[in-house]
Amino acid sequence: MMNIYNPSNEQLLKSIEEDSSSTINEKLNQLRNGQIQWAQKSVTERLDCILKFGDLIQQNIDELAQILTSETGKPIQQSYNEIKGAHNRIDHLKYNAEKWLADDTIEGLEGTFEKIMYEPLGVVANISAWNFPYNVGYNVFLYALVAGNAVAYKPSEYASLTGLAIAANLYKAGVPEDVFQCIIGEGAVGQTLLEADFDGYFFTGSYPTGLHILKEVAPKVVPVQLELGGKDPLYIMEDVQDVKVAAINAAEGAFYNNGQSCCAVERIYVHEKIFDAFVDFFLEEVEGYAIGDPDAEETFIGPLTRKGQLNLLRNQVDDAISKGAKLLLGGAELAGKGYFFAPTILTNVNHEMLVMKEESFGPIIGIQKVENDNEAIKLMKDTEYGLTAAVFSTDQLRAEKVLKEMNTGTVYWNCCDRVSPNVPWSGRNKSGVGATLSSQGIRAFTQPKAYHWREV
Ligand code: NDP
């Protein structure tokens, strides 16, 4: 049995049955059979189930938001935002899936014709993260299902109740049980999935686990996609229209979901001409955040989801201070029950410090002064990750010049920490390989078959 705890009060929420290698193999066999019939349905029929699923999620949003908040500690308003926001993936599929899954016919020369058919991969494993289980889950399993695959979905152990609720709603919406199965368990259960014979592995999580998966499944020679972490930089130029607005937006990018977003702003560079004013507004904004009970409507900062992260954050703070950083706010856990870490702001930081180099994935930010764009570019590029990079400025050309230099899957001008289904979501280097969302994100769950024919 696996125990699920509430991170805001450390109380046991529920004990649930874990999968074993025998139940996983049983589920895999069911999925193999189910996938054959599922793939024979039209895209419209499959899409209809997903649209019904979307309606059910909206109807049950109160209960689902409660579940999400109880097991992850996400403030309740942010749970509602996530569930509502993720619906844009369903709309995206509604308007685009048929177009992208249709055959491409190419009229050839001299009576020879060619066609590309987009066939499903088969039965795919989706090993997922807990920080945005609706967003990152939908990016994979909804797109995979619409493309005709069966899915073994392993939610993170910290989002298992949400995973089970998602499965129940998919079944109610008409997705057969032998087409979607939830696999419950910790990392060891994920490991069993790697040993089983899936036709593709789609992972969202940390770089170390992603690398392990890549190595483990390499001999199978099946598609592997990895959506991993980041150390995403934001550069504030001195020409921003309003320094206060820039500071408010930057703070939200850094602290939304307690900083536990793959594309959270993880380090900020500010032009020296506005540095002091920016830091003052930033501090004022973060000091105003309501911290505490995630069930309370006004709460903006709840507990961290995982207890272990408290040590990592404390270590980053200690390391920075020992190397000369100035602690403006926070810096430690909050007393009492629950995995609360005070929102933390550090200045006088540099790239010798862990906080500017290693993913924090929590409510902590380093703000560094820069002299000019060249220095900002150099620092922004000084990372092994490549998820997103952002610039706030009124000068589009100048911002684009900086963003062009970034080796990241996404760049933002005057916005940050956002994902849209219209464009691909992808990381480079230690941030991953492959793309979800957009046309590429649906084709990711297919394999092309080239068909040549000649009329005789
Ligand atoms: P982890 O890598 O710890 O876990 C991710 C998933 O992998 C979980 O379901 C976990 O199971 C499972 N797992 C752990 N060990 C193994 C194993 N040996 N074999 C197979 N599966 C295994 O990441 P987190 O859940 O902590 O997620 C946070 C990370 O995810 C951050 O780095 C964040 O940046 C990244 N992320 C990236 C996104 C992107 O789109 N690029 C989006 C969201 C998050 P269990 O939890 O049960 O141990």
Cβ of 183 below 6 Å from ligand 1: no
Residue 313: the pLDDT is: 98
Residue 112: the pLDDT is: 87
Q: Angle formed by the axes of helices 187-195 and 21-40, to 10°?
A: 60
* CA 326/CA 440 separation, integer angstroms: 44
Q: Are 343 and 329 in contact (CB under 8 A)?
A: yes
Cβ of 228 below 6 Å from ligand 1: yes
Residue 185: the pLDDT is: 95
Span from the CA of 258 to the centroid of ligand 1 (angstroms): 17
Cβ-in-10-Å burial (0-12, 13-18, 19+) of 329 comes to: middle
Residue 147: the pLDDT is: 98
| 103-117, 130-144, 173-187, 258-272: range with lowest mean pLDDT | 103-117
Span from the CA of 187 to the centroid of ligand 1 (angstroms): 9
Span from the CA of 14 to the centroid of ligand 1 (angstroms): 21
Cβ of 262 below 6 Å from ligand 1: yes
Residue 403: the pLDDT is: 98
Tell me the DSSP string of 120-158: E-SEEEEE--SSSHHHHHIIIIIHHHHTT-EEEEE--GG
Over residues 374-428, the pLDDT tens digits come to 999 999 999 999 999 999 999 999 999 999 999 999 999 999 999 999 999 999 9
Instruction: Calculate mean pLDDT across residues 78-96.
Output: 98
109 — pLDDT class (breaks 50, 70, 90): confident
Cβ of 131 below 6 Å from ligand 1: yes
455 — pLDDT class (breaks 50, 70, 90): confident
Q: Which residues touch 59 (CB under 8 Å, ≥6 apart)?
A: none
Cβ of 229 below 6 Å from ligand 1: yes
Specify the residue with its C-alpha closest to ligand 1, atom 5. Answer: 205
Catalytic annotation, pick one of 227, 266, 358, 359: 227
Q: Are 257 and 78 in contact (CB under 8 A)?
A: yes
Cβ of 196 below 6 Å from ligand 1: no
* The residue to which tokens 């706030």 are assigned: 392
Indicate if the pLDDT at residue 264 is higher than 90. yes
Say what the pTM is. Answer: 0.97
Span from the CA of 130 to the centroid of ligand 1 (angstroms): 8
Round the average pLDDT of the chain to a whole number and report it: 97
Catalytic residue check, 375: no
Cβ of 430 below 6 Å from ligand 1: no
Specify the residue with its C-alpha closest to ligand 1, atom 27. Answer: 205
Indicate if the pLDDT at residue 326 is higher than 80. yes
Out of 16, 82, 127, 417, give the residue to mutate to test ligand 1, the one with the largest number of ligand atoms within 8 Å of its CB.
127
Percentage of the chain beyond pLDDT 90 is 97
Distances (CA, A) of 349 to 120, 231, 261: 49, 15, 22
**From its phi and psi, is residue 105 left (phi > 0), alpha (psi between -120 and 50) or beta?**
beta
Out of 262, 410, 420, give the residue to mutate to test ligand 1, the one with the largest number of ligand atoms within 8 Å of its CB.
262
* Alpha-carbon dihedral 372, 376, 378, 379, rounded to 10 degrees: 140
Instruction: Calculate mean pLDDT across residues 226-233.
Output: 98
The alpha carbon dihedral of 240, 241, 247, 249 has a sign of: negative
Cβ of 135 below 6 Å from ligand 1: no
* CA 398/CA 390 separation, integer angstroms: 12
Residue 110: the pLDDT is: 78
Residue 456: the pLDDT is: 79
Indicate if the pLDDT at residue 111 is higher than 90. no
Catalytic residue check, 262: yes
Residue 240: the pLDDT is: 98
Cβ of 127 below 6 Å from ligand 1: yes
Over residues 11-52, the pLDDT tens digits come to 999 999 999 999 999 999 999 999 999 999 999 999 999 999
Q: Note every long-range contact of 244-247, with CB atoms under 8 Å and residues 24 or more positions apart, other chains counting.
A: 244/281, 246/278, 246/281, 246/392, 247/278, 247/281, 247/282, 247/284, 247/285
Instruction: Give residue 337's identity as a one-letter amino acid code.
Output: K
Cβ of 303 below 6 Å from ligand 1: no
Cβ-in-10-Å burial (0-12, 13-18, 19+) of 15 comes to: exposed
CA 227 to ligand 1: nearest atom: 41
Q: Are 215 and 191 in contact (CB under 8 A)?
A: no
CA 139 to ligand 1: nearest atom: 40
108 — pLDDT class (breaks 50, 70, 90): confident
Instruction: Calculate mean pLDDT across residues 204-225.
Output: 97
CA 128 to ligand 1: nearest atom: 9
Span from the CA of 382 to the centroid of ligand 1 (angstroms): 24
118 — phi, psi (to 5°)? -105, 95
Cβ of 163 below 6 Å from ligand 1: no
Structure tokens, 196: 């089983």
Span from the CA of 127 to the centroid of ligand 1 (angstroms): 7
